[in-house]
Amino acid sequence: MEVHIAAAALTFVKCGSPPPPPPPPPVESSTKPIPSSDSTIKRLPEGLQVCVVGAGSWGTTIAKIVGSNVMNSKTFDNEVKLWVFEEIVDGRKLSDIINEEHENKKYLPGYKLMPNVVAIPDLMKAVDNADILVFILPPEFIQKICSEIVGHLKPGAFGISLIKRPTAEDIVPAGSSSSGCTNKTHGKIFKELFETLNFRITVVEDNEAVELCGALKNIVALGAGFTDGLGHGDNTKAAVIRLGLMEMIKFSKIFCKRPVHLRTFLESSGIADLITTCYGGRSRKVAEAFAQTGKSIEELEKEILKGQKLQGLPTVKELYKILKKKNMDEEFPLFVCIYQICCEGKSVNDFICCLQTHPGHEDLTKD
């Protein structure tokens, strides 16, 4: 998990590339009144109010954790707002389903939310009076969302970004996440907000590297998927992970403004999350099918993910633009080869040649 101050996201609104095409027009907001928390729940109006912005599988997972944690804390308000991009599911509005059945039946079926988690399809109403904004959106939408809420936030509000792709199983087994945060006070708040017995949080100050790990791991996972689709074993995938981690570290050292610490890559946000994503993530799954079927990644995204977003492809496209602009594409052969396979028609079989000739295999004892 990556955590950083919302100002970074708001800066992106001003400095980023032109916003992507907006998503399909939202379904008309529900005419039903937004339910408040369960009547048996005692409200703590002086506590920090939390709004989770995004209700996909990861957003709903976090809403489930946060909804439970705030009930046992004097730090937070007991109600958790969940902004939902309205959709029709089996003839009903998704926000109504969540509020009436306390379950996101489209993106996290089978897992009940606490009744204090309130789904709100109106973005302005969702962020109104929020002290903490938890952004859990596909990266291509964050710029648009931040542009809309600028000027509508409570003074002193701060935000965190949890751009990660979990499976529903992440709710149950023990997990670990790393929170990158330069503000120690906020770091303590984040830890209290998210940590459970099965979901431990480590706060580190190397926030830029933590954020990059969360993005670059999805590129490496595409490569891991290629090897799976080509029928290679775990040793080949281990080579992908090792070489991919080397390029992640190199990229972070070059492009992070603050010094990068190697220990950050030994945190859960580094090698642990990289391994997990290379064995079970969406990017790996789609890349495997790509190598097996020859269908386009965009086509497979629709077939396999059924409305969820693949992050490896847009990430590698943006990364390649950066490398070409800096004339550094030859320094990252693994990343570039993955881009060429996904976007330029390079044969997926050439990926094995890339692994075989990668400079990361050179004898480190040589001068």
d(CA 143, CA 11): 9
57 among annotated binding-site residues: yes
199 among annotated binding-site residues: no
Catalytic positions are 217
Contact of 206 with 180, CB cutoff 8 Å: yes
Separation in Å, CA 230 to CA 278, 337, 347: 15, 16, 11
56 among annotated binding-site residues: yes
Q: How many CA atoms lie within 13 A of 111 on its CB side?
A: 20
Q: What are 158's strand-pairing partners? A: 132
307 among annotated binding-site residues: no
Q: What are 175's strand-pairing partners? A: 199
321 among annotated binding-site residues: no
Contact of 230 with 348, CB cutoff 8 Å: yes
Q: How many CA atoms lie within 13 A of 59 on its CB side?
A: 29
Q: What are 50's strand-pairing partners? A: 80, 132
Separation in Å, CA 83 to CA 1, 135, 328, 347, 360: 20, 10, 40, 41, 44
282 among annotated binding-site residues: yes
d(CA 280, CA 282): 7
How wide is the angle at C-alpha 293 spanned by C-alphas 287 and 295, nearest 5°? 75
55 among annotated binding-site residues: yes
59 among annotated binding-site residues: yes
Annotated binding residues for NAD(+): 54-59, 85, 141, 282, 309, 311
Q: Which residues does the annotation place in the binding site?
A: 54-59, 85, 141, 282, 309, 311
